[in-house]
Amino acid sequence: MTLQQRKFVEVPTDWPLIGCIAFGVIDRGTNLIQVRPSSSCPLSCIFCSTDAGPSSRNRQAEYVVDLDHIVEWFKIVAKIKRSKSLEAHIDTVGDPLTYPKIVDLVHRLSEIPRVSVISLQTHGSLLSYKVISNLEAAGLSRINLSIDALDPQLAKRLAGTQNYDLEHVLKMAEAISNSRIDLLIAPVWVPGLNDQEIPKIIKLALSIGAGKRWPPLGIQKYVVHRYGRKPKGVKPMTWYKFYKELRMLEERFKVRLVLKPDDFGIVKDAKMPLRFRKGEKVRVRVVGVGWLRGEKLAVDLRRERMVTLVNASHAEVGSTVSARILACKDNIYVAEPL
Ligand code: SF4
């Protein structure tokens, strides 16, 4: 669905912000809480696991969440955690820098007791010197910056748009490295496409001083996702081969590339209780258009969780329907109307 055909939804403040993968807060039972204030992206990476950006075929809506609303739900989740130190990780199904109040969001998160790390994941196109300095002043701890190639033409091809400006992103990488924000360079390794680039990216990360407090690199494996984009002819590496390759690169560059949660101070912690179980029949109110084709968004009658209804083109917004829960992992609910 083209960008023009997509619906742009300002999430109403009476929608709960737990339950939908596309926006809100996600708790996977550790001291890291994912924060998703917007869903849009300016790029259309050909390997994108969330089919983001202007070239998306499956998305029918993009979302943006009110600042107070998302901070309030973050605090609800933070309250149940037992760890002394929490990480707010702004990741999103697009690029978090599309959120107009990203600097205020970082600042507000930094004021919450026990939040000692605020990190953000981006491909960097929307960064500028001013944005970096504002994020630094707001208290951002780390930027996980994805750079997938150092060849400008290949970088454009991987980003799925001729608008991708590698030179700009490289300047921004240096600017981050020279700020108080730590830099972690996080390329996605797409076998057959950017194999030659990975060693170059490792050298770059080391030469510009990435990884002052955390590891300098977080190389990501290309993984096929049901609704993600699949570049033609690309066969994903097995996890075995991926880690073997990383270990060889570790030897060659004398840098740690096989990372564990522990490297980021991530530990298991209390988890928000599930409201529904798989197979359970629930009554929900249909409240809006869903993220992907054929989906609607719904809220349970106690207004505690968002529920994504699949195969729900005919469910009318405003109606109350019965639905069967198909998935409930990490409080992300998918259901089908009965
Ligand atoms: S991989 Fe990231 S930057 Fe690229 S299209 Fe997907 S969300 Fe956007």
Going by alpha carbons, the residue nearest to atom 7 of ligand 1 is 94
Average pLDDT over residues 296-320: 97
Instruction: End-to-end CA distance of the chain: give it in Å, rounded.
Output: 27
The CA 44 to ligand 1 mean position distance, Å, reads 6
Confidence of residue 158 (pLDDT cuts 50, 70, 90): very high
3-class SS string, 249-262: HHHHHCCCCCCCHH
What is the phi-psi region of residue 114: left when phi exceeds 0, alpha when psi lies from -120 to 50, beta otherwise?
A: left
Best residue for ligand 1 mutational test, from 39, 62, 95, 190 (most atoms within 8 Å of Cβ): 95
The CA 269 to ligand 1 mean position distance, Å, reads 29
Best residue for ligand 1 mutational test, from 21, 23, 48, 90 (most atoms within 8 Å of Cβ): 48
Going by alpha carbons, the residue nearest to atom 1 of ligand 1 is 48
Distance between CA atoms of residues 320 and 325, nearest Å? 15
pLDDT in tens, 122-139: 999 999 999 999 999 999
Say how many C-beta atoms besides its own lie within 10 A of residue 56's C-beta. 23
pLDDT(1) > 80? no
The CA 323 to ligand 1 mean position distance, Å, reads 32
pLDDT in tens, 182-212: 999 999 999 999 999 999 999 999 999 999 9
pLDDT in tens, 49-97: 999 999 999 999 999 999 999 999 999 999 999 999 999 999 999 999 9
Atom index in ligand 1 nearest the CA of residue 41 equals 8
What is the phi-psi region of residue 69: left when phi exceeds 0, alpha when psi lies from -120 to 50, beta otherwise?
A: alpha
* Complete domains list, the chain, with CATH: 7-264 (3.20.20.70), 281-337 (2.40.50.140)
Which H helix or E strand runs over 26?
A: strand 24-27
pLDDT in tens, 17-37: 999 999 999 999 999 999 999
Report yes or no: 47 and 225 within 8 Å, Cβ to Cβ: no
| pTM summary value | 0.96
Best residue for ligand 1 mutational test, from 46, 50, 91, 221 (most atoms within 8 Å of Cβ): 50
Position 5 scores a pLDDT of 83
pLDDT(223) > 90? yes
Tokens 């070239």, residue?
A: 55
Position 326 scores a pLDDT of 98
Average pLDDT over residues 170-176: 98
Position 2 scores a pLDDT of 74
Beta strand 320-327 with 281-289 is antiparallel
